[in-house]
Amino acid sequence: MSATADKIETDVQAYMVQLGSQARSAARVLAAASPAAKNKALLQMADAIEASAEQLVAANKKDLEAGRKNGLSDALLDRLELTPARIEAMATGLRQVAGLPDPVGEISDMAFQDSGLQIGRMRVPLGVIGIIYESRPNVTADAAALCLKSGNAAILRGGSEAIHSNRAIAICIQDGLAAADLPVQAIQVVETTDRAAVGQMITMPEYVDVIIPRGGKGLIERISQEARVPVIKHLDGICHVYIDEFADRDKAVRVSFNAKTQRYGTCNTLETLLVHQDVAADILPELFEQYRQAGVELRGCQRSCELDSAISKATEEDWDTEYLAPVLSIRIVDNLDQAIDHIELHGSHHTDAIITENLHNSQRFLREVDSSSVMVNASTRFADGFEYGLGAEIGISTDKLHARGPVGLEGLTSLKYIVIGDGHTRS
């Protein structure tokens, strides 16, 4: 370990304060940077990543070797790996973000008030964004791109298992910033693996405006508890599909099957299926058959078990569980009200869908289900920044304030009021 790195390890707090203070200075420059400069940096980063593919793979190899030595699971090792395809995907991602409309400086709602003042709102960066994430090194490039494009400085704190990969990506990022004459400290990768760095980063509101943690629920809860800075949170996704009495049978089967089985480990995957009692006997047997063929374990309420004796009985805990696995809980409900009650009581306000051809019921569901995404006749798996047309996504927020649902560039900005007068005074 170099003398510098040694110093870093022995004085994490001072190191983080230094990063913070540098980020705060860079943020002011970035907020006023032209779209052309920001895009030039992004495109240069993409080129640098492609040109450094060999170095990235070599750095990544060190992480993989250390990971194997430390007994990381195959799943984690897979997430950690930088293949040529993944390196290319990082570069493509950077170029895509360069191609998005620049949100900074956009003025809306500008109108004259009775006083004669023209008053509106301008979209501006938040300032300095701290991102805390785990094994995937590609997050380093993705997060850098979104923060830069939205005019924010960023402090990126990846997992210690990816430190060599992240440092190598950081060099490409610095390259891009320098090529566009932007401050290289606009995007900083935390170079220490000391866990105290996180504790420091989330408690310096003078330097960091918002923290976005990406990782497991445990990490996010811990950070939220300890942060002295606003946190954009992504907690669990206990998502529901409710098959209404007025559902189209085919759509119900198709959507419910897709929402559970298209991918098991994602936050927008269906975890509990609710079915109106009048259509359960007609629709569920076919669905159960499909789920079983796909290897999904079924756990049902009393009435579901009566329909199909092979289903195991769901416990109270099942309704509150995000399986992230080929397991599904099923409940037959009396009516729409009971479905909404169930979702409000057991859901996580992430994504919930109704299958119905009835306008009134669809409207009630859209209005009354208090989730970040509420859907009609569509698979919950669509809850995603790309599908929503945001062009990119830094995460999905389960918060109600500020950003709710998939967070793209807009969620990394705020609206300030601007007022134009001509010597106006208040009387």
Residues 16-75 touching a second copy, rule: CB under 8 A, are: 28, 31-32
Distance in Å, CB of 353 to a second copy, minimum? 8
CA distances for 54 relative to 48, 49, 51, 170, 189, angstroms: 11, 9, 8, 15, 20
Size, binding site for a second copy by CB under 8 A: 71
Residues 6+ apart with CB under 8 A from 299: 311, 312, 313, 314, 315, 318, 327, 328, 329, 330
Which amino acid is it at 320?
D
145/237 Cα distance (integer angstroms): 26
Q: Is 342 in the site for a second copy (CB under 8 A)?
A: no
Q: Which of 69, 113, 310, 317 binds a second copy (CB under 8 A)?
A: 113
Secondary structure class of 348 (helix, strand, coil): coil
Distance in Å, CB of 196 to a second copy, minimum? 22
Q: Is 421 in the site for a second copy (CB under 8 A)?
A: yes
| Six token digits for residue 24 | 């705060």
Taking CB under 8 A as the binding criterion, the range among 87-95, 172-180, 274-282, 408-416 that sits at the site for a second copy is 408-416
Distance in Å, CB of 336 to a second copy, minimum? 12
Restricted to residues 362-401, the positions that interact with a second copy (CB under 8 A) are: 362, 364, 366-368, 370-379, 381-383, 387-389, 399-401
Distance in Å, CB of 427 to a second copy, minimum? 8
Distance in Å, CB of 181 to a second copy, minimum? 18
> Closest CB to a second copy among 264 and 388?
388
What DSSP letter does each residue of 32-91 carry, written as one string?
Answer: T--HHHHHHHHHHHHHHHHHTHHHHHHHHHHHHHHHHHTT--HHHHHHH---HHHHHHHH
145/151 Cα distance (integer angstroms): 10
Distance in Å, CB of 9 to a second copy, minimum? 30
> Closest CB to a second copy among 51 and 420?
420
Distance in Å, CB of 54 to a second copy, minimum? 34
Distance in Å, CB of 228 to a second copy, minimum? 8
> Closest CB to a second copy among 338 and 377?
377
The secondary structure of residue 309, as a DSSP letter, is T
CA distances for 108 relative to 103, 119, 120, 125, 418, angstroms: 11, 9, 6, 15, 10
Distance in Å, CB of 409 to a second copy, minimum? 14
Region class of 342: left (phi > 0), else alpha (psi between -120 and 50), else beta: alpha
Q: Which of 210, 220, 314, 343 binds a second copy (CB under 8 A)?
A: 210
Distance in Å, CB of 187 to a second copy, minimum? 19
Restricted to residues 212-241, the positions that interact with a second copy (CB under 8 A) are: 230, 232
> Closest CB to a second copy among 64 and 211?
211
> Closest CB to a second copy among 69 and 416?
416
> Closest CB to a second copy among 66 and 230?
230
Restricted to residues 346-365, the positions that interact with a second copy (CB under 8 A) are: 353, 355, 362, 364
Which amino acid is it at 426?
R
Q: Which of 45, 126, 168, 187 binds a second copy (CB under 8 A)?
A: 126
Q: Which of 4, 108, 309, 425 binds a second copy (CB under 8 A)?
A: 425
| Six token digits for residue 15 | 């190191």
The size of the chain, in residues, is 427
Q: Is 181 in the site for a second copy (CB under 8 A)?
A: no
Q: Residue 277, Cβ neighbours under 10 Å: how many?
A: 13
Restricted to residues 239-298, the positions that interact with a second copy (CB under 8 A) are: 248, 250-251, 254-255, 257-259, 262
**Nearest partner of 191 among 2, 57, 56, judged by Cα:** 2
- Burial profile 53-65: b = 16 or more Cβ within 10 angstroms, e = fewer: eeebbebbeebbe
